[in-house]
Structure 1
Amino acid sequence: MKYMLLIYSTESDWTEEEREACMVKSTEVCHELNEKGQFLAASPLHPVSMATSVRVREGKRLITDGPFAETTEQLGGYYIIDVENLDEAIAVASQIPPAKKGTVEIRPIFELPEIPVKQ
């Protein structure tokens, strides 16, 4: 089953040294998952200050600088994994460094065969 792991944390909680160590460990996790055939994708996101939100209301497009919701934790990155079950997804999420400072949300991916997938 495919899962998306959404990484949330408060951007200002990370020192530059912690951020660099997080990148190193996160890259290691990606390589470990790849060796097991469980890795599909992962990437950090640019800071929330670079976000743009789009809403369409009554046929009109509304564009706002910034994230969708004003919260203390921001979406900072993601992993897409292919594991047997939720327990395995929880085990992977527990290895990701941001789980120690923020939250890793695990969401099953609803696959639609009609949507093209780049190989």
Structure 2
Amino acid sequence: MTLYLLSIYQPDGPPPPQEILEPIMRNLDEINKEMKASGAWVFAGGLHPPSTATVVRVKEGQLLTTDGPFAEGKEHIGGFTVIQAADLDEALKWGAKLARAITLPIEVRPFHGDPRHDMCMRG
């Protein structure tokens, strides 16, 4: 099984009003339950707004930190789900279900190797 990152892209700005957000959150809860029941779900989380980000980089040997997101844009990653799937087709099916449930674009991307195995090997 390969691990895939399902990144949720959301528009910048305040969250939608409660009457719109509430059914979306119910749909998301149902998809998460379905993923867990199938054994695909590994981990998921929502993120604070991009304004809470700090970028760390090295430039000319000096460590620099900058408040705010790495890149300015009209969208940002608002949350993510890590799943395990037999192949890209299966991962795309989960991505499609998630996109339908929350009405936002989902980027599906495989991990290199298996981070769970790599973490165990370091320990």
Separation of aligned partners in 1, 2:41 and 2:48: 21
Q: Corresponding residue for 1:28? A: 30
Q: Corresponding residue for 1:11? A: 12
Taking every aligned residue pair, what percent have the same amino acid on both sides? Answer: 35
Q: Corresponding residue for 1:41? A: 43
Separation of aligned partners in 2, 1:23 and 1:33: 15
Question: Judging changes above 3 Å, is the alpha-carbon distance between structure 1 residues 21 and 62 closer, same or farther for their aligned structure 2 residues?
Answer: farther
The C-alpha deviation readout for 1:53-109, integer Å capped at 9, x for no partner, is 1111122111111111111111111000001111111111111234x33x2111101
Instruction: Tell whether 2:49 aligns with 1:78.
Output: no
3-state SS of the aligned residue for 2:57? strand
Name the Cα RMSD after superposition: 1.9
3-state SS of the aligned residue for 1:26? helix
Q: Corresponding residue for 2:96? A: 94
Separation of aligned partners in 2, 1:19 and 1:52: 27
Q: TM-score, normalised by structure 2?
A: 0.82
Q: Alignment length, in residue pairs?
A: 115
Following superposition, the deviation at residue 38 of structure 1 comes to 0.6
Q: TM-score, normalised by structure 1?
A: 0.84
Separation of aligned partners in 2, 1:14 and 1:80: 23
Structure 1 window deviating more from structure 2 (39-48 vs 88-97): it is: 88-97
Following superposition, the deviation at residue 48 of structure 1 comes to 1.1
More helix by share: 2
AA aligned to 1:67 is P
AA aligned to 1:2 is L
The C-alpha deviation readout for 1:19-54, integer Å capped at 9, x for no partner, is 333222212111111101110001110111111111
